[in-house]
Structure formats: structure tokens, C-alpha cells
Amino acid sequence: MMVTDRRRVARAAGASEIDALVRAVARGVNAGATMIQVRERALDDSELLDLTARLVRQSAPSGARVVVNDRVDVAIAAAAAGVHLPASGAPPERVRAVAPPGFLIGRSVHSEAEARAAEQTGACDYLVFGSVYPTASKPPGHEPAGIDALARVCRMVRLPVLAIGGIDARRAREVARAGAAGVAAIGLFVGHDDDVLNAAVREIAHAFASE
């Protein structure tokens, strides 16, 4: 899963935020990302809707699925594949009650208790757990959960768990061995040329296929 951050992408690319993000998502999908989480909280409603619809159209030929962070209304209006709920977001069962058939619902969790509670709703399709490793996306002093905590969560729930936080190709095999179904990342998709990005995504895919 590629998690978007238009400002970080634009700084790396030296381009306008939206155009840089759209190009970065195209590169991520071409490299092998199978899900895109649109996490652009500071955009107004119309900008977020336009961006999401654009990314849905762009990603459709590859089969990559687009989910929108927190905004169920935007996800449905843009014909996205689903919504990704933050840990403090709407109850998944309430979202499921209004969602169209086949709509994906993911949830961020940061502890075993949160993972168990999310699964018990019966409304989630996957979980994202982290931060597993130190990451530039969190403020200084943030304490990562660690690989052992990821392993405990993966053993506890039957839902697919994606690991997030400090994810790179070097750590993919350790994450796969902990029981994760995949990874979610921001920095992995920022500031690298196509050859480096493609190689990293291939290495991650191989790590999960071989475990």
C-alpha cells in the first residue's frame, strides 16, 4: 500500500503538490503497489474529491485499488474501492451499514487491544499496524511498536495485517516472518528514481511470496 503525502512528494520532486502526487502514484502503481491510500487531510472537499477520482481513473487499468483516509463520503462519491479508518475514526460497523457492496474498510490499530476490537466488529477487511520501526513520518521521540508487537497482533487476528512505519526492502522479510500480509509506506515511494523504486517493490513482493 502506498500512502500519499503530497507535500513530501512535492518537496522531493520540486513540482506543484497535486501534479507531483499524481505522478508519484503512477510510478508507485507501475512499480507494483496494489493499493493506494489517499491521506490528504488538508485539502478541501472538492479538491479531495477531484484528486481521488483522478487517482481512481489512473489506477484502474493496473487493478490497483484506491482507498480514502477517513472520508467515507468522498470514497463513495469518487467510486474508490473503499475507506481507511484511523484508529479514532468512525466505527467500522457504522460505515459498513452505509457502504455499497464490495466496499473495502480498513482500520489503523496501534495495539493488540485495538486490533482485537476492530476484528470483533466484523466490519473490517484489513488492519494497518504500526509504527513498527522508527519513521520520519512521526515526530521526534515517537516510540515504535516493534516487530514483536506486530507478530503478536498478527497471531491474534484473522484479518490481514499490513505493517507500517519505517518500512523498506531490507525489513520486508522480517515483517513477513512476523505474519504480516503486506506493508504500507510513505517514504518508500518518495525521492527515489524508477529503477530504485521498482527494485525495492520487487524485493518486498519476493519477501512475502517466499515466506
Q: How confident is the model at residue 179 (pLDDT cuts 50, 70, 90)?
A: very high
pLDDT of residue 2: 98
- Positive/negative CA dihedral, 107, 65, 27, 51: negative
Give residue-wise pLDDT tens across range 140-155: 777 899 999 999 999 9
Question: CA triplet 101, 104, 108: central angle to 5 degrees?
Answer: 150
- CATH number, position 126: 3.20.20.70
DSSP output for 99-134: SPTT-EEEEEE-SHHHHHHHHHTS--SEEEEE--S-
pLDDT at 11: 83
Query: Is it the case that residue 198 has pLDDT exceeding 90?
Result: yes
- Given a cut of 80, whether residue 68 has pLDDT beyond it is yes
Q: Cα separations (Å) of 131 from 26, 75, 79?
A: 25, 25, 29
**Residue 139 pLDDT > 90, yes or no?**
no
Q: How many domains, in total, are found in the chain?
A: 1
> Is pLDDT at 137 greater than 80 in this prediction?
no
Peptide bond into 131 cis (omega under 30): yes
**What are the two backbone dihedrals, phi and then psi, of residue 136, each rounded to the nearest 5 degrees?**
-70, -15
Parent domain of 82: 2-209
Instruction: Pick the range with the lowest mean pLDDT from 72-76, 93-97, 191-195.
Output: 191-195
Q: What is the pLDDT of residue 141?
A: 73
Q: Closest Cα partner for 57 from 31, 94, 29, 32? A: 29
Task: Evaluate whether 177 touches 208 at the Cβ level (below 8 Å).
Answer: no
Whole-prediction pTM: 0.95
State residue 49's pLDDT score: 98
Q: Is 211's pLDDT higher than 90?
A: no
